[in-house]
Amino acid sequence: MTAFLLASAPTWADIIITETNDPATRGDLIADTVVSNVGGGVTIESVTVVGADGQAGTFTNGLSTGGFIDFEAGVILSSGSVSSVLGPNVDDGTGEDMPTVAGADGDPDFNSLTLVNTFDAVYVEITFIPVGDTMTGTFVFASDEYNEYAPPTGESSAGNQFFDVMGFFVNGVNFSTTADQASGSGVPVNVSINTVNKTYNAADFVNNDPTDFPANALPFDIEADGFTSRLSWTAPVNPGVENTLKFGVADGGGRVLQVERSTHETPIERSPSSSGPRKQAVS
């Protein structure tokens, strides 16, 4: 799956997007953004970032995008280049085949969320020691696979096994889920184009597909054909010992269409009573 945002923003001049390409510093930059509002209560033990140059970045001034990014600052990840978020959206299917990076293809966590092997993953793994017992976060998921590959009405959705995936894995368990409306069971299922679209969980979906609007009348000047509203997740953590958070996106199967994900900056809740030293993050 893909997450976009731009390194420079000539179209959205008020948004500040910074690609995190330097392996010596990008772990620090992403970890600082993720926990910047925690204010103590968590010790970062290590940070690892897997992905090609251009696939990961941070953003500020997100509220200036009006209806797309519903939070001020965070992390942006993409199975393509984060700069590809720039509009106008004139193509119903945009994608990039990223350079091969060790660990980016066939990741078992992302493979567990789809029916096929995954490629072009970008993800962040953070080992941390919390004071509190709960982690929470918010995100927006966007994709160029909307709406033609999204079931049940997408013209290319019948029998489709190739859909991009995202995940927030806390101690190995994915918590970025929504209700399963396709089966009617309501049980939690992973957020993807299959589970949040014009039919399923439609209240959480925003359409931006150029085939559904008159020329030059798209509501959002971004490349993605659709995206979710701001969604949230909550996970238990074990206080006082090491825990792991892994979050990212990956392309499902061989089709290379981009999906986007931006992450809010405050995913770790803390105990208000104490805080620990923050160790230097490494990538």
Checking if the pLDDT of 221 tops 90, the result is no
Q: How far apart are CA 190 and CA 199, in angstroms?
A: 16
Checking if the pLDDT of 107 tops 50, the result is yes
Tokens 């994608």 correspond to 95
pLDDT tens digit sequence for 27-84: 888 877 776 544 457 888 999 999 999 899 888 777 766 677 777 788 889 888 887 7
Q: Any idea which of 7-11, 87-91, 144-148 has the lowest mean pLDDT?
A: 7-11
- Ramachandran class of 205: left when φ > 0, alpha when ψ lies in -120 to 50, beta otherwise: beta
pLDDT for res 93: 62
Checking if the pLDDT of 237 tops 90, the result is yes
pLDDT band at 260 (very low <50, low <70, confident <90, very high): low
> Which residues, listed in sequence order, are joined to residue 39 by a DSSP beta bridge?
none
**pTM of whole model > 0.85?**
no
Nearest-CA neighbor of 90 among 206, 221, 198? 221
Q: What Cα–Cα distance (Å) separates residue 184 from each residue in 3, 181, 200, 204?
A: 29, 5, 10, 17
Q: What value does the mean pLDDT take over residues 140-147?
A: 89
Phi/psi for 69 (5° steps) reads: -95, 115
Checking if the pLDDT of 252 tops 60, the result is yes
pLDDT band at 87 (very low <50, low <70, confident <90, very high): low
